[in-house]
Amino acid sequence: MKRILAFIGIVVIVFAAIGLTSPALLKNIKLGLDLKGGFEILYVAQPIEPGGVVTQDTLRETARSLEQRANASGVSEPEVTPEGKDRIRVRIAGVVNETEVRAILQKPAELSFRGPDGTKEMVGSDFVQGGAKVGFDQNNRPEVQIKVKDPEKFRKVTEKLTGQTLAIYLDENMLSAPRVNYPITDGNAVITGNYTYDEAKKLADTINLGALPLKLTEKYTQSVGATLGQLSLHQTVEASIIASIFIVVFMLVLYRLPGLIASISIVTFTWALLGVTYLMNATLTLPGIAAFVLSVGMAVDANIITYERIKDELRSGKSLLSSLKSGSRNSFRTIMDANITTILAAVVLYFLGTGSIQGFALTLIFSIVVSIVTNVFFSRLLLHLLIRSNIATKPGYYGVKESEINAL
Amino acid sequence: MRFSFDIVKQRKKFFALSIAVTVIGIVTMLIFGLNYGVDFKAGTTLDINVGQTIEKAKAEEIISGTGVAPAVVTIGGETNNRVTARFDTVLTQDQVNKVDSSFKSQFGDKVSKEENTVDPELAKELAYKAIYAVLIASVGIIIYVSIRFEWRFAVAGIVALLHDAFIVVSLFSIFRLEVNLPFVAAILTIVGYSINDTIVIFDRIRENLRFAKVKSFDDLADLVNRSIWQVMSRSINTVITVLVAAVCLFIFGSSAIRLFSLAMIFGLVSGAYSSIFIASPLWLIMKSKTIGSSKKKAVA
């Protein structure tokens, strides 16, 4: 009696948790561009100046300035990530004026040094590539050391602006406004201020980026209209629900009581997988949903392997409890071997894939791990409680006919 | 005793069938090649949902009216409201906008588009990555299965797996279906599924081997047959559930994953088939050599 209460208790608690958290989960899961509309561009960066080399630093800086520009143009949560040696991937959701944003992004970042009246006195290409670095003054405070290509030009600018500020701008953002204390003749300047090391490093990186402006070329673009994205989401969720209903009915008809437990486990599995997706802050894409639905199909596999095994044991004449025990034990090894091979394929896919394919691979990996927890351990616990409670003892409840049972 | 049919005895027929399909696949691929989507062949694809039924001629007329390069146009969607235009050249942003706005002027603001452009260089890289992915995954699986089972199981499993991947690729070649990046994801899922399915049978063979005294080829053949039939209901029930999911996605899902679902359906059927009819008999043939050699030694 205690056990059947525990069984009912667990099921009620789990379903209550599912009911209470699902709406919030569904609302908060990050959706991919293919489901909510937006665009993704992969840029390849090349130096504008001949003979220039794209470095990790300039690439990172370019990505940072792209992000600032995207933010400035009013889009929310742009995702800008440097990739590999010379690539930058930009993902922006829900953009109304895509053309405009793309044009803004593609413009090379412009570094300028401006006088108090706003005239551009120096531009990025006036500085030596990679010439800006962080140094320390006598008091060991960080400072930025820069080198210009043409000392004569710099001397004239500094002469004119002695006692005034020479502000540093990236695009239209002022980064710093150091004062010119005296004319600089040798082309080497030092910018001091109350910088932390990180601030000084960032400024030096920005100046280096300005000295080597990168030209961005679109190598891959994917853009999905918002209506189309929502339509895809809607249709695919509908398909998933229909598929799930079919699977549950199939399991109930074929496996009776364990089928019911499988259905409970599968619902729990789906919810747990959504939870993991949310906690990992992973993005749900269209192929991701497909992986999701397939994983429900494959999760059933774990249940089927176990139940078939238990059926076999029952047919051989063992008691219900010992059938459950040996059936669970024997099936576990099979399930693990089978799932680990699938994980191997998914891991390879993750490391070689890009964008939505990675989303797919990640969902597949999560789903297998979650599936082992819910469809092996949780499902086994429920079945165990049910069998131990002695209310469902007939082999018929487990899909085994009396006539099929051999005497031991 | 449940109904059973001697799968192992009929193995030559199944091998012949698989070889025949493979040969047909190689021939069609040599003659026609694959119908690469923009992911693998540079160009632009525009997917335009016009919100109402549209005829192919009308869509073609609108596109050619904007002066861009000619495209292969297909009409899809539940009510034929979706235009997919595939351009062999990479369209500039202006050109895309032109096409978009002329559809908008005809069908109103409900028009929603999806654009995909891939640069030739990047397309090549993606294609190579896809092939590497299948090969690396196969090597990983071989190593794992060799450690957990023995190398013969690994070899038989990989043959079955490559067989499935190849059959899906062949079918896509024969029916001229578009091969894109999600297609590669489908192939890899099939690879994962196929080996999963095969492992379950191998596991049973391994288990039965522990208690069996195998003296002859017939003993071994009998053991393999028995093992296959012991897990048959599991094999069938599992493939049915996963197949149901794939078919639902195909019928009711978004058209963006329709080809993905179709590849999955082909692969699932082939995966179940090869696990039962190809992998285990193949293992049997390799394994039976060891019986023969030990027998000869015993005689000598």
Q: Under an 8 A CB cutoff, do A339 and B246 touch?
A: no
φ, ψ for residue A212, nearest 5 deg: -130, 75
Residue of A nearest to B121 (CA): A219
Q: Under an 8 A CB cutoff, do A301 and B238 touch?
A: yes
Structure tokens at A69: 């520009």
Residue of A nearest to B98 (CA): A99
Question: A47: which residues sit within 8 A by CB, 6+ positions away?
Answer: A53, A54, A212, A213, A214, A215
Residue A355 is predicted with a pLDDT of 62
Q: Under an 8 A CB cutoff, do A360 and B185 touch?
A: yes
**A215 in contact with chain B, both atoms CB, cutoff 8 A:** no
Confirm if A119 and A169 have CB atoms less than 8 A apart.
Answer: no
Q: How far separated are the first and last CA of chain A, in Å rounded?
A: 30
DSSP summary character for residue A165: B
Q: How far is CA B272 from the centre of its chain?
A: 12
Instruction: Give yes or no for residue B300 having a pLDDT over 50.
Output: no
Which class for A381: exposed (0-12), middle (13-18), buried (19 or more C-beta within 10 A)?
Answer: middle
Cβ–Cβ pairs < 8 A, chains A and B: 214
Residue of B nearest to A350 (CA): B133
Which of A223, A246, A254 minimises the CB distance to B114?
A: A223
Structure tokens at A192: 């001091």
pTM score above 0.80? no
Residue B297 is predicted with a pLDDT of 46
**How many helices (H) and strands (E) are present in chain A, helices listed first?**
11, 13
Residue B227 is predicted with a pLDDT of 92
Which of A219, A243, A298 minimises the CB distance to B248?
A: A243
Residue of A nearest to B97 (CA): A99
Q: Which residue has the tokens 């493979």?
A: B22
Distance CA A107, CA A68 (A): 13
For residue range B104-116, what is the model confidence (pLDDT) as tens digits? 888 877 778 888 8
**Considering only A130-134, B13-17, B148-152, which range has the smallest mean pLDDT?**
A130-134
**A356 in contact with chain B, both atoms CB, cutoff 8 A:** yes
**A291 in contact with chain B, both atoms CB, cutoff 8 A:** yes
User: At A321, is the secondary structure helix, strand, or coil?
Assistant: helix
**How many helices (H) and strands (E) are present in chain B, helices listed first?**
10, 6
Q: Under an 8 A CB cutoff, do A301 and B196 touch?
A: yes
Instruction: Give yes or no for residue B283 having a pLDDT over 90.
Output: yes
Question: A272: which residues sit within 8 A by CB, 6+ positions away?
Answer: A370, A373, A374
Mean pLDDT across B129-149 = 86
Residue A111 is predicted with a pLDDT of 79
**Which string of b and e fits A300-320 if b means at least 16 CB within 10 Å?**
bbbbbbbbbbbbbbbbeebeb
For residue A139, the tally of other CB atoms under 10 A from its CB is 7
Q: Which residues of B touch A233 (CB under 8 A)?
A: 254
Q: Which residues of B touch A228 (CB under 8 A)?
A: 47, 49, 112-114
User: At B81, is the secondary structure helix, strand, or coil?
Assistant: coil
Question: B21: which residues sit within 8 A by CB, 6+ positions away?
Answer: B167, B170
Task: Count how many Cα atoms sit within 13 Å of the Cα of residue B165 in the half-sphere of its side chain.
Answer: 25
Candidates B248, B250, B262, B264: best to mutate against A (most CBs of A within 10 A) is: B248
Distance CA A364, CA A345 (A): 10
Candidates B113, B188, B206: best to mutate against A (most CBs of A within 10 A) is: B188
Candidates B254, B258, B259, B264: best to mutate against A (most CBs of A within 10 A) is: B254
Mean pLDDT by 10 residues, chain A (408 residues): 86 92 88 82 81 78 80 76 86 76 76 82 78 83 85 86 84 80 84 82 78 77 81 86 88 87 90 89 79 78 88 85 88 88 84 72 86 90 85 75 72
Residue B299 is predicted with a pLDDT of 45
Q: Under an 8 A CB cutoff, do B192 and A250 touch?
A: no
Q: Under an 8 A CB cutoff, do B129 and A352 touch?
A: yes
**A85 in contact with chain B, both atoms CB, cutoff 8 A:** no
Chain A, 322 to 341: residues with Cβ < 8 Å from chain B are: 330, 333-334, 337-341
Confirm if A31 and A289 have CB atoms less than 8 A apart.
Answer: no
Q: Which residues of B touch A34 (CB under 8 A)?
A: 256
Q: How far is CA B197 from the centre of its chain?
A: 15
Give whole-number Cα distances, A108 to A105, A243, B214, in Å: 8, 49, 74
Is the ipTM higher than 0.85? The answer is no
